[in-house]
Amino acid sequence: MFVDRAKIFIKAGDGGDGCVAFRREKFVPRGGPSGGDGGTGGDVYFRSSSHLNTLLPFRFKQHFKAGRGGHGSGKNRHGKNGQEVYIEVPVGTQVINDETGEILFDFTESGCVEPVARGGKGGRGNACFATSTNQAPRISEDGKSGPELWVILELKVLADVGLVGYPNAGKSTLISAISAARPKIADYPFTTLSPHLGVVPFDDHESVVVADIPGLIEGAHSGTGLGDQFLRHVERCKILVHLVDVSGLGPDDPVGAIEAINKELGLYDRALLGKKQLIVASKLDSFESERLSAVEQFCSKEGLWLFNVSAVTGAGLQELKWAIRSTLEELSSESGSLGGDV
């Protein structure tokens, strides 16, 4: 099961209490105070991992507490420090403070470690309070409480290319034709209920990562059809491949379908409209000339790159793949890297 949002509780360890004690040893007259300090509470860390691809484990465990620091004891013995806790999350996860809405961390690479809650400081024992005028203090400090907070985890898939379009536009069929991904494919709306990633290889051993974003409909930005949950996965994509069904079973107004999806992208996040788009007229094996002609005229008018493809027959797939690659190379020419992490 793909889970891309979770809410968890985090509690850093409390510090241990300081100790009040005095030395009572043979041959040690006037032994003096010997109360040790309490140990520091354990810290809580987040660690990103490329071996995870869902937040499903947090459905079963929502509370994470670090260990408490040990109390100080006689003979100036320091309490042990509390056990640290590491919370592993998939690459692409954002950690958000539930109370303030602040984004604490954004894990875009594997192996990153960030502290989210530091353990409480241990209290001082009475040995720390001895002075020339107070050689036998009977005071100590309690340990400090570790901070606690609720955080929201949001997973946004990391992909170079995002496939967008109405339900049943052919996105899942396309990604299965150009990569090794095998999403569920059927002829009813909302067959795809979670994003799927596929790696598209090229002959020179380069590759790009493509995400099949579940179908969007009007009102998606406000949650219609679970659209607000799907749209977050478009944010990290470098370019968008916008599919429109030009077959007899597609929308009566394919141009209106393109405009409706772009409107939803803009209402969700205006920045999404600034991403490069490639328009794909899908299901070319059963196209209707009027619908294909309307899309061609629209793309010509708007200056958009149009590709006519059929994932069933393979027509147009190679041209689309190389267009995706060349577009990504243009965008990443400054950094010199083609694809994202897989």
* Tokens, residue 115: 């502290």
Confidence of residue 22 (pLDDT cuts 50, 70, 90): very high
How far apart CA 49 and CA 89 sit, in angstroms, is 6
pLDDT at residue 114 is higher than 70: yes
Q: Please, where are the H alpha helices in the chain? A: 171-178, 227-231, 254-268, 289-302, 317-331
Task: Kindly state the helix (H) or strand (E) to which residue 299 belongs, with its residue range.
Answer: helix 289-302
* Tokens, residue 314: 């393979």
Name residues whose C-beta falls within 8 Å of residue 101's C-beta, 6 or more positions apart in sequence: none
Distance of CA 144 to the CA centre of its chain: 33
* Tokens, residue 77: 């013995």
Residue whose C-alpha is closest to residue 174's, from 273, 272, 242, 262: 242
Task: Kindly state the helix (H) or strand (E) to which residue 241 belongs, with its residue range.
Answer: strand 239-245
| Cβ(183)–Cβ(173) below 8 Å | no
Strand order, beta sheet including 148-155: 63-65, 5-11, 148-155, 93-97, 103-106
pLDDT at residue 9 is higher than 90: yes
| Cβ(183)–Cβ(174) below 8 Å | no
* Tokens, residue 227: 């659209």
Q: Apex CA 2: angle with CA 224 and CA 154, to 5°? A: 70
Kindly report, residue by residue over 181-235, the tens digit of the pLDDT. Answer: 665 555 545 445 567 778 888 877 678 888 888 767 665 444 444 445 677 778 8
How far apart CA 237 and CA 230 sit, in angstroms, is 13
The pTM assigned to this predicted structure is 0.72
Q: At what angle do helices 289-302 and 254-268 cross, to 10 degrees?
A: 50
Residue whose C-alpha is closest to residue 88's, from 41, 120, 56: 56
**Sign of the dihedral through C-alpha 201, 207, 212, 217:** negative
Distance of CA 42 to the CA centre of its chain: 25
Tell me the residue type at 207: S
Please give the share of the chain, as a percent, with pLDDT higher than 70.
Answer: 87
Tell me the residue type at 249: L
The pLDDT score that the predictor gives to residue 287 is 85
Q: Which domains does the chain have, with CATH numbers?
A: 1-155 (2.70.210.12), 161-331 (3.40.50.300)
Looking at every residue in the chain, the average pLDDT score rounds to: 86
N- to C-terminal Cα separation, the chain? 20
| Cβ(52)–Cβ(35) below 8 Å | no
Kindly report, residue by residue over 119-155, the tens digit of the pLDDT. Answer: 999 999 999 999 988 988 999 999 999 999 999 999 8
How is residue 287 annotated by DSSP?
B
The pLDDT score that the predictor gives to residue 269 is 85
The pLDDT score that the predictor gives to residue 47 is 97
